[in-house]
Amino acid sequence: MITLQNDILQISIKKQGAELCSLINLKNAIEYLWQAKPEWAKHSPVLFPIVGQLKDNEYKWQDKTYKMERHGFARNMPFNLIDNDSLSATFELTDNETTYQQYPFKFSLQLKYGLNGNTLTISNKIKNNSDFIMPFSIGAHPAFNIPLSIDETYSDYYLQFNKKENNGNWKLENGLLKNETPFFNNTSEIPLSKSLFENDALVFKNLKSDLIELKSKNNTHGLSVTTANFPYLGIWAAKNADFICIEPWLGIADSVNASGNILEKEGIILLNQQQSFSCAFSINVF
């Protein structure tokens, strides 16, 4: 376990999956991150090299079919710590014999965690070390505790978007995108309740907002997540669990009508040989 700390934040990251597993505000002693209880045994997995689910859990590349489970393999693999000081840590996963069985590409995936005041920034850098184009997606899946105070309930919380939205929610059928249904109506808030996720995640495409706040109706404690340059967003919680996931995605699940050809997959990023791609998002606690 790697721990970083400044005057406000203390975070912990484990090498397995380079997964953030604690986010504490030292000023108010609040643990903001879900602690992998039985309802969902994760904290904040990285989603790579796919986001969401593939149709039939498989894809085709150069006339060969590969199997891959939902959200890819990176979250379940050990990363190497390649750089570390008191305020930042960088982890790396590279291709190996296990990854080749699911993903026939040579790659480097780096996750960097950095502290600055009350803000944690998580940066991703992907490099294609293959001699041909590499398709990939990447996303985040942090789960935040609700409520943050023992005298509150889940329904005391809401999500505040920084712009008014009119987008619909993309319904899922067995993990696959099926159809868009009305959701926002020139609104910028989502009141939270556990019934909201009875039919799986809320999935949005191309929202105008680039900042989402988790706020309480009763106190000033909460957090914000930046989503600039992430065209897809997932909002999810496990059944009857006391958390909310705010998930910036560069990629999305297959549709029920997906062809299976990875080059035709919605949201897929095509990275040329020996090229790199970077993206980042931040979590700000208050």
Dihedral sign, Cα of residue 60, residue 46, residue 85, residue 214: positive
End-to-end CA distance of the chain: 25
CA nearest neighbour of 219 among 150, 138, 267: 150
3-state secondary structure string across 205-273: ECCCCCEEEEEECCCCCCEEEECCCCCEEEEECCCCCCEEEEEEEECCCCECCCCCEHHHCCCCEEECC
Tokens of 207: 């929202």
C-alpha distances (whole Å) from 102 to each of 57, 65, 72, 136, 243 are 11, 9, 9, 12, 31
Distance in angstroms (rounded) separating the CA atoms of residues 260 and 185: 34
Length of the chain: 286
**What's the confidence (pLDDT) of residue 235?**
98
Spatial CB neighbours of 157, under 8 Å, sequence gap ≥ 6: 146, 147, 192, 214, 215, 216, 217, 222, 244
C-alpha distances (whole Å) from 108 to each of 47, 137, 261 are 14, 13, 23
Judged by DSSP in three states, 187 sits in strand
CA angle 251, 232, 248 (to 5 degrees): 90
User: Which residue ranges form the domains of the chain, and what is each CATH number?
Assistant: 2-285 (2.70.98.10)
Residue type, 56: D
Report pLDDT digits (tens) over 3-29.
999 999 999 999 999 999 999 999 999
Q: Are 164 and 130 contacting, i.e. CB atoms less than 8 angstroms apart?
A: no
The pLDDT profile of the chain, 286 residues, written as one tens digit per residue, is: 999 999 999 999 999 999 999 999 999 999 999 999 999 999 999 999 999 999 999 999 999 999 999 999 999 999 999 999 999 999 999 999 999 999 999 999 999 999 999 999 999 999 999 999 999 999 999 999 999 999 999 999 999 999 999 999 999 999 999 999 999 999 999 999 999 999 999 999 999 999 999 999 999 999 999 999 999 999 999 999 999 999 999 999 999 999 999 999 999 999 999 999 999 999 999 9
Other C-beta atoms lying within 10 Å of the C-beta of residue 217: 10
Report pLDDT digits (tens) over 94-129.
999 999 999 999 999 999 999 999 999 999 999 999
